Amino acid sequence: MSGNPALEPLVTFVTTDYAGITRGRSIAASSYAPGQQKTVGWVPANMSLTPFDLIADPNPWGSSGDLRLLPDDNAHFNFAIEGSATPLDIIMSDIVELDGKPWVCCPRSFLKQALADLAAETGLTLLASFEHEFQLLGVNWPAAPAFALQAQRRADPFGPALMGALRDAGVAPEVFIPEYGKDQFEITLAPADALASADRAVLLRETVRELCRNRGWHCSFAPKTAVNGVGNGVHIHFSFRDAKGTPSTQDATLPGGVSAVAASFVAGILSHLPALTAFTAPSPISYLRLQPHHWSSSYTWFGDRDREASLRICPVNRVGKADPAKTFNIEYRPADATACPHLALGVIVRAGLEGIRRKLAAPPLFSGDPALLEQSERDALGLQRLPQSLVQALDTLLADKTVCGWFAPVAIETYVGMKRMEIKLAGDAMDDAMCRRYSDIY
């Protein structure tokens, strides 16, 4: 034998779990072929894993039971990342029982079922896009102003390498932004079918992480990397198509230009939003971010182009040739990257569907500072402060029987049990050290 040892490239079947962490198992890429439904084993108690690598105790699963990861051939991404020895080759997978039925805690199956119910009951399909902010930590670059070209060029060719990798992955990146925070960047992706958008959120996070790792940089998507620093948000944009494929989010004759069905969807989300934050802002430090004047959202608030709103009507661009009806979309802002994208989008769809079922009226639009209003004025506008800690969010979730009813009881038990263990392990000190612990994980 001579020369370099041979590499057997791997394809990894991945799932992104309740902790928002992408995990999986690999087989030789050469032994995988689409359509074969080849699976790998998985363990139920994995879903009780906290971000700190300890399994919640107690948990409903214990040491017994077996599951499979079933790859979705339509969600196969295989592309080179600058500096990696082999391509990143991953397939988004569902967690299934040994007979192939979706497992009760599988977040991706939860999203698929929510989208199927939305389509069956309303004829609507959802387009979505996850917009991510993240920071580079400890890079020791010369300081650069917010949004500045020099902030971007210091990192060059990070932007081009990221855009290139995503393009090769088949994910259309749109805009690369040096953001407001220290060494903070943002990247936006073109809207896609809702399931694909959640898959792409996973892909984006892992691609950024790998690119940075290969350069010896530490990046983080944690909602706060320092208590007084700028937050890293995940803003989830969505719009609708009707059964014929016609854009149906906009109706220029209605308030905010929002169609009646989209307004009911938004009203459904707002009515369950305090409970939803337990899934979309699911770590103790998420609540350092969800504060007034952080442009992150802190009330149940429907706003027309106001970045403090929790649901924001995005602007329609009249420059150029884009069709306004196609670009019109609404953005969910109280989310961050400690959340599983499939679970976050799944609960948004479930809540929106409740709003359509109940034919809820359009929520009032508000712009300004809720703190300057009287309580009675806030009540009239439906402006309710969001939970201010994960403890509160979990209690609010358990008190919202509608939201709990979207899940099997054992799924809620698993989720809340894991999160309460995480809170215990994290401790009470909401300080920079806590932000650093989360920055190391996310």
Give the count of beta carbons closer than 10 Å to the beta carbon of residue 249. 25
Considering the complex, state which of residue 52 and residue 295 has its C-beta at the smaller distance from ligand GLU: 295
Single residue of 24, 71, 107, 233 touching ligand GLU by CB under 6 A: 233
201 lines the binding site for ligand GLU (CB under 6 A) = no
| Nearest distance from C-beta of residue 179 to Mg ion, angstroms | 5
Q: How far is CA 68 from CA 6, 10, 199, in A?
A: 29, 18, 19
Considering the complex, state which of residue 39 and residue 296 has its C-beta at the smaller distance from ligand GLU: 296
d(CA 142, CA 128): 36
d(CA 407, CA 435): 30
- Per-residue binding string, ligand GLU, 355-394, x by CB under 6 A, is ----------------------------------------
Single residue of 46, 207, 296, 310 touching ligand GLU by CB under 6 A: 296
| Nearest distance from C-beta of residue 131 to ligand GLU, angstroms | 8
Ramachandran angles phi, psi of 189, nearest 5° = -120, 150
Three-state DSSP state, 126: strand
d(CA 356, CA 191): 22
186 lines the binding site for Mg ion (CB under 5 A) = yes
**Only segment of 36-44, 57-65, 293-301, 337-345 that touches ligand GLU (CB under 6 A):** 293-301
Considering the complex, state which of residue 112 and residue 333 has its C-beta at the smaller distance from Mg ion: 333
**Only segment of 17-25, 294-302, 321-329, 420-428 that touches ligand GLU (CB under 6 A):** 294-302
Considering the complex, state which of residue 50 and residue 225 has its C-beta at the smaller distance from ligand GLU: 225
8 Å CB contact between 279 and 344: yes
Within residues 120-159, the interface with ligand GLU by CB under 6 A covers: 133
305 lines the binding site for ligand GLU (CB under 6 A) = no
d(CA 28, CA 74): 19
8 Å CB contact between 320 and 329: no
Single residue of 231, 274, 363, 417 touching ligand GLU by CB under 6 A: 231
Cis peptide before 274 (omega within 30 of 0): no
**Only segment of 56-64, 144-152, 157-165, 178-186 that touches Mg ion (CB under 5 A):** 178-186
Helical residues (DSSP H) of 281-408, grouped into ranges: 286-289, 324-327, 341-357, 375-381, 390-399, 401-405
d(CA 383, CA 312): 14
Nearest residue by C-beta to ligand GLU?
233
**Only segment of 151-159, 160-168, 287-295, 413-421 that touches ligand GLU (CB under 6 A):** 287-295
Ramachandran angles phi, psi of 278, nearest 5° = -60, -25
281 lines the binding site for ligand GLU (CB under 6 A) = no
282 lines the binding site for ligand GLU (CB under 6 A) = no
Taking alpha carbons only, the member of 37, 26, 44 closest to residue 103 is 44
Cα 286 to the center of its chain, rounded Å: 13
Q: What does the binding site for ligand GLU look like in residue numbers (CB under 6 A)?
A: 133, 230-231, 233, 289, 294-296, 307, 333
